[in-house]
A and B are shown apart, each in its own frame.
Chain A
Amino acid sequence: MNLVILLAIAFGGALITYFSGKISKKLRDIFAVLISLALIGIVTGFYNVSSRNIFYTGFFDFPLILRIDTFSWFFAITTVALGSLCIIFSLSYIRTREKTDFYYLMMLLVNAAMLGIVLAGDLISLFVFWEIMSWSTFLLISYNQGHALAAGMKYIVMSIIGSLVMLVGILSLYTSFNTFDISQIAYGMSSASTGYILFILIIFGITFGIKNAVMPFHTWLPDAYAEAPSPFTAVLSGMLTRMGIYGFLLLMYVMVGLSSVITSKLLSFHYILTWLGAITIVIPTFIAMLQNDAKKLLAWHGIGQGGYMILGIAFGTNYALVGGIFHTLNHAIYIVLLFLSVAAVQYRTHGERDLNSLGGLIKKMPVAFIGALLGISGLIGIPLTNGFVSKWIIYKTLIIEGAPFLAFAALIGTWGTILSVYKFIHNMFLGQLPERYKDVTKLPINMQIPIVILSAAILLFGILPGIVLKVINSIVHSFGFEPLNVTLWGIASDTGALNMVNIFALILAASLVIWFIFKRIRKSIKINQYDSYAAGTTVPKDKYHYSVNFYDPLYRMISPYLKDFIDDFYMILARSIKNAGNGIRRIYSGDVGYYVMYIILFLALLIFIQINWELW
């Protein structure tokens, strides 16, 4: 199969879905699901295939190229798989809303554009797909109107800055090497000067840093995640933001290449990037603790987890790189799962996402609860979930290579995560069920399927990480690193092996034994939620849930230090530019008299200069 056909199906499918929506809603839903599933099938067929197509030469005679190898295949399959799950989930989530045809068009367009980005073999097509992705994202973020418009505006402004910077980088590369082809640029870069390589790294680093929300470029993310329609937030957080990671990998290990890093002492760039990653882990994780909005809480974790990936790929040992790439996939799986669980709760509670007014939903939505539980376990990195394996790999290399302070930043991020995600799950699913939600019904089947699949994936990759590690190992090998000694159940190594199957077997055995004892002893009596200890009084309805200011003592201690100063700075910058613009506008008043006056004043100035200094 040709790569061009793959992209044609992706883009054409989006249009077909849109127009079929004009005929019948059912037909459109079927098309949307079929196309996204077809893409999974086709991309799977490209496993272990290396191919390269020139698909268009009409653009000033530059060949536009599509290419696939294990590296882009890995990102492509993740994109299409998670994208299709989100579309299946959307079917009932979005049904009652307006402009649903437009929603599906944009969802499929975003997926197609991301596919284009990872398959692009030259910088022109990369840039074009990058822009399609940015703009359709903007339209989807603003889909809800209201606050969403401001959030979308914030996103698109930062995104445009990123794109323009990237354009400068692309043009600079073209003037140096006379080509847009990534593989030829990589060849040219190996003989480029250190200063030039550093320039390219910084220029593209800004673009990809904005997309991946690395501090200090993170400010667009919390609002955008919170305001976008929830199934799209899942796509946004799972893969779209991580196009930044794809970009960093492409930049640092394909275009610039490992050898020039080692020979020309570019490690200072890596060193600074690792520390940016560490800061990106710690600060957002603590800010997340202060959030009362379920989606904003997850959004701040999205920034924080991005820090682990940056830390991994910037640290630049084979372990760190494997950990970083694996964490990208793991994060995508559990964050999509978490956003879908929130979306499920929103769907049944009329869009409620305030953590202070939910509670007790575990009895009404067990599937959403299981999704949220496995999602937060992955986010924390509890053993047996996928997040643990990737974090373990990163920590291990940080400690063995003698960077304990980076390891400390990464570890403390985990403990901060526990606090906020427990609050997340407690305030939504545990505690007392408010009276107004006592008639909440189960989720529709098309919402349950993606949640169950993703939950299973978390456990599967957590217990048998070798399935994915094998693929990542070959990516890392293609970058020129020594491959790890990967087994199906973990990692075999002299400095510390990891064996997940052992741990799984033990936890399972211990739980079964205890459960067996528990069963055999006198059965306990089931009681309802109002039959609990209230120090001698009756349990008040709707008020017996400790959720507001869950970690109050800590809030009071840390909240003064955790304002988003960077966001404030950008806002001040935006305001002063606006004021300057207003000032300049006064000159152009529209009154002809003023313009005549300007001309006369200017001439007077020229005459004055000529009389005094006789310049001409």
Chain B
Amino acid sequence: MTTILEIIIVILLAGIIGLFFLGLSRKIMARIHWRYGPPIAQPVIDIIKLFNQTSMSHGILFNFGIIFSLAGSVVVLLFLPLGRICPLSGSGGLLVILYLMLVAPLGLTLSGGEAANPYASIGISRIFLLAMGYEVPLLLILLSVMTHYNSISIVQIVSIQLQTGWSFQHLPLLLPGIAYILIFPAILGLRPFELIQAPQEISSGPMAEYGGKFLALATIQHAFNVFIGISLFTNLFLGGAENPGYFFLKMLAVFIIFLFVNAVFPRFRIEQAIRYLWKWPTLLAFAGLVIVMITG
């Protein structure tokens, strides 16, 4: 019973925090641009509006892809410790999270692929290319974390950090941590890696054909994704937290820093992005993994 309660709390909190972050990002971006900006609740207002609009569907996979994608994101949430709350601590650990994180993009891309629109397909190819770019350093980083703590369970990794300090304070994990910071905007899809939607170039990419409830679900999914990306970083490198409130503050700090990066950078081209991601972050992460191996 408590598990079910925890599941509901985690999903609700993640949704609220994710949507809050989306609203906040628009507000902060606007202020940096010397505009007033929309209210913070704008994403919620948009979602309610979108649910009431008529939408077009291209077929069964077009519908189910987006449903499956959202379900995948929801399930990932339950594996990530939020403060002390982690409803599914014993079902496979970080490796399962890593693989479950594939479900969401795969659902979205299958749905977008069915739309028979080249803009969507170009966006999809960029999703996968960018993922290929940042997964190389990210996997090295995650492997050095798992090897350093000799555990594949994220709950265990967090609880070790609560006793011995953040991962950044463990010297062998310093280089992987820096590499993680360097690739973090790519994971969240913030500028300079805002290639996938790129509204001016490819008309929102995979979501080109979405309208109405599809767009609403896609927005919710995006909110969850932002939450998952920041939460993973906070849990692995910033020591997680004892309670959800403190955890939220840490996430907020991380998000705002990367919003500032987002505000001042232009967009990379896709090959520039891959070249960047495979160069310095990968070298740092590789060196980090070697150091972790040596220090045992």
Cβ of A510 and Cβ of B92 under 8 Å apart?
no
> Which residues 48-94 in B have Cβ within 8 Å of A in the complex?
51-59, 61, 63-64, 67-68, 70-72, 74-75, 78, 88, 90-93
Cβ of B92 and Cβ of A497 under 8 Å apart?
yes
A396–B143 CA distance with the chains assembled, in angstroms? 11
Which residues from chain B contact A532 at a C-beta distance below 8 Å?
A: 58, 115-117, 208-209
Cβ of A431 and Cβ of B55 under 8 Å apart?
no
Cβ of A415 and Cβ of B131 under 8 Å apart?
yes
Which residues from chain B contact A502 at a C-beta distance below 8 Å?
A: 88, 91
Min CB–CB distance A375 → chain B (angstroms): 14
Q: How many residues does chain A have at the interface if contact means C-beta atoms less than 8 Å apart?
A: 70
In the complex, whether B169 has a CB less than 8 A from a CB of chain A is: no
Cβ of B96 and Cβ of A515 under 8 Å apart?
no
Which residues from chain A contact B150 at a C-beta distance below 8 Å?
A: 400, 402
Cβ of B55 and Cβ of A522 under 8 Å apart?
yes
In the complex, whether A535 has a CB less than 8 A from a CB of chain B is: yes
Q: Find B96's partner among A383, A404, A422 (CB 8 Å cutoff).
A: A383
In the complex, whether A382 has a CB less than 8 A from a CB of chain B is: yes
Cβ of B289 and Cβ of A522 under 8 Å apart?
no
User: Which residue on B lies nearest to A410, using beta carbons?
Assistant: B139
In the complex, whether B217 has a CB less than 8 A from a CB of chain A is: yes
Which residues from chain B contact A382 at a C-beta distance below 8 Å?
A: 99, 102-103, 106
B24-32, B120-128, B225-233, B258-266 - the one binding chain A: B120-128
In the complex, whether B164 has a CB less than 8 A from a CB of chain A is: no
Q: Do A431 and B121 form a contact, CB below 8 Å, given A524-B214, A526-B57, A532-B116?
A: yes
A432–B59 CA distance with the chains assembled, in angstroms? 12
Which residues from chain B contact A556 at a C-beta distance below 8 Å?
A: 271
> Which residues 508-542 in A have Cβ within 8 Å of B in the complex?
510-511, 514-515, 518, 521-522, 524-527, 529, 531-535
> Which residues 396-421 in A have Cβ within 8 Å of B in the complex?
396, 399-400, 402, 404-405, 407-408, 411-412, 415-416, 418-419
Which residues from chain A contact B135 at a C-beta distance below 8 Å?
A: 412, 415
> Which residues 326-371 in A have Cβ within 8 Å of B in the complex?
360, 362-363
Q: Mark B193-221, 1 if CB is under 8 A from A, else 0.
A: 00000000001000011001110010000
In the complex, whether A121 has a CB less than 8 A from a CB of chain B is: no
In the complex, whether B140 has a CB less than 8 A from a CB of chain A is: yes
A546–B122 CA distance with the chains assembled, in angstroms? 7
A503–B292 CA distance with the chains assembled, in angstroms? 32
Min CB–CB distance A528 → chain B (angstroms): 8
Q: Find B152's partner among A360, A380, A400, A546 (CB 8 Å cutoff).
A: A400
In the complex, whether B274 has a CB less than 8 A from a CB of chain A is: yes
In the complex, whether B136 has a CB less than 8 A from a CB of chain A is: yes
A527–B53 CA distance with the chains assembled, in angstroms? 16
Cβ of B151 and Cβ of A551 under 8 Å apart?
no
Which residues from chain A contact B67 at a C-beta distance below 8 Å?
A: 511, 514-515, 518
A404–B239 CA distance with the chains assembled, in angstroms? 22
In the complex, whether B17 has a CB less than 8 A from a CB of chain A is: no
Cβ of A430 and Cβ of B113 under 8 Å apart?
yes
Cβ of B102 and Cβ of A426 under 8 Å apart?
no
A489–B61 CA distance with the chains assembled, in angstroms? 29
In the complex, whether A544 has a CB less than 8 A from a CB of chain B is: yes
Q: Do A524 and B212 form a contact, CB below 8 Å, given A496-B152, A518-B63, A529-B116?
A: yes
Min CB–CB distance A255 → chain B (angstroms): 34
Q: Do A497 and B90 form a contact, CB below 8 Å, given A383-B96, A396-B152, A533-B117?
A: yes
Cβ of B59 and Cβ of A363 under 8 Å apart?
yes
Q: Find B58's partner among A515, A527, A545, A547 (CB 8 Å cutoff).
A: A527
User: Which residue on B lies nearest to A509, using beta carbons?
Assistant: B71
> Which residues 428-466 in A have Cβ within 8 Å of B in the complex?
430-433
Cβ of A524 and Cβ of B88 under 8 Å apart?
no
In the complex, whether B275 has a CB less than 8 A from a CB of chain A is: yes
Cβ of A514 and Cβ of B128 under 8 Å apart?
no
Q: Do A553 and B90 form a contact, CB below 8 Å, given A503-B100, A510-B75?
A: no
In the complex, whether B255 has a CB less than 8 A from a CB of chain A is: no
> Which residues 566-600 in A have Cβ within 8 Å of B in the complex?
none
Cβ of A419 and Cβ of B116 under 8 Å apart?
no
Which residues from chain A contact B128 at a C-beta distance below 8 Å?
A: 418-419, 422, 551
Cβ of A404 and Cβ of B289 under 8 Å apart?
yes
Q: Find B132's partner among A419, A506, A518, A529 (CB 8 Å cutoff).
A: A419
> Which residues 168-200 in A have Cβ within 8 Å of B in the complex?
none
Cβ of A495 and Cβ of B208 under 8 Å apart?
no
A11–B143 CA distance with the chains assembled, in angstroms? 50
In the complex, whether A550 has a CB less than 8 A from a CB of chain B is: yes
In the complex, whether A388 has a CB less than 8 A from a CB of chain B is: yes
In the complex, whether B6 has a CB less than 8 A from a CB of chain A is: no
In the complex, whether A605 has a CB less than 8 A from a CB of chain B is: no
Min CB–CB distance B102 → chain A (angstroms): 6
B67, B140, B150, B208: most-surrounded residue (chain A CB, <10 A):
B67
Q: Find B92's partner among A381, A392, A415, A524 (CB 8 Å cutoff).
A: A392
Cβ of B99 and Cβ of A383 under 8 Å apart?
yes
Cβ of A383 and Cβ of B212 under 8 Å apart?
no
In the complex, whether B146 has a CB less than 8 A from a CB of chain A is: yes
Cβ of A381 and Cβ of B99 under 8 Å apart?
yes
Q: Mark B235-278, 1 if CB is under 8 A from A, else 0.
A: 00000000000000000000000000000000001110011000
Cβ of B118 and Cβ of A544 under 8 Å apart?
yes
In the complex, whether A507 has a CB less than 8 A from a CB of chain B is: yes
User: Which residue on B lies nearest to A497, using beta carbons?
Assistant: B90
A551–B122 CA distance with the chains assembled, in angstroms? 9
Cβ of A554 and Cβ of B132 under 8 Å apart?
yes
Which residues from chain B contact A422 at a C-beta distance below 8 Å?
A: 106, 109, 124, 128
B78, B117, B213: most-surrounded residue (chain A CB, <10 A):
B117
Min CB–CB distance A496 → chain B (angstroms): 5
Cβ of B124 and Cβ of A503 under 8 Å apart?
no
Which residues from chain A contact B59 at a C-beta distance below 8 Å?
A: 362-363, 526
Q: Do A418 and B102 form a contact, CB below 8 Å, given A525-B56, A546-B122?
A: yes
A495–B67 CA distance with the chains assembled, in angstroms? 34
Cβ of B213 and Cβ of A405 under 8 Å apart?
no
Cβ of A550 and Cβ of B125 under 8 Å apart?
yes
Q: Can you give 21 A-B contacts (C-beta < 8 A)?
A: A363-B59, A373-B110, A380-B102, A402-B296, A405-B293, A412-B135, A415-B139, A418-B106, A422-B106, A425-B110, A432-B116, A496-B151, A496-B152, A514-B67, A515-B64, A522-B212, A524-B63, A525-B56, A527-B58, A532-B209, A550-B121
The 6 nearest A-B residue pairs measured at CB: A430-B113, A546-B121, A510-B71, A546-B118, A524-B57, A553-B271
Listed in ascending order, the chain A residues whose CB lies under 8 Å from chain B are: 360, 362-363, 373, 377, 380-383, 388, 392, 395-396, 399-400, 402, 404-405, 407-408, 411-412, 415-416, 418-419, 422, 425-426, 430-433, 490, 495-499, 502-503, 506-507, 510-511, 514-515, 518, 521-522, 524-527, 529, 531-535, 544-547, 550-551, 553-554, 556-557
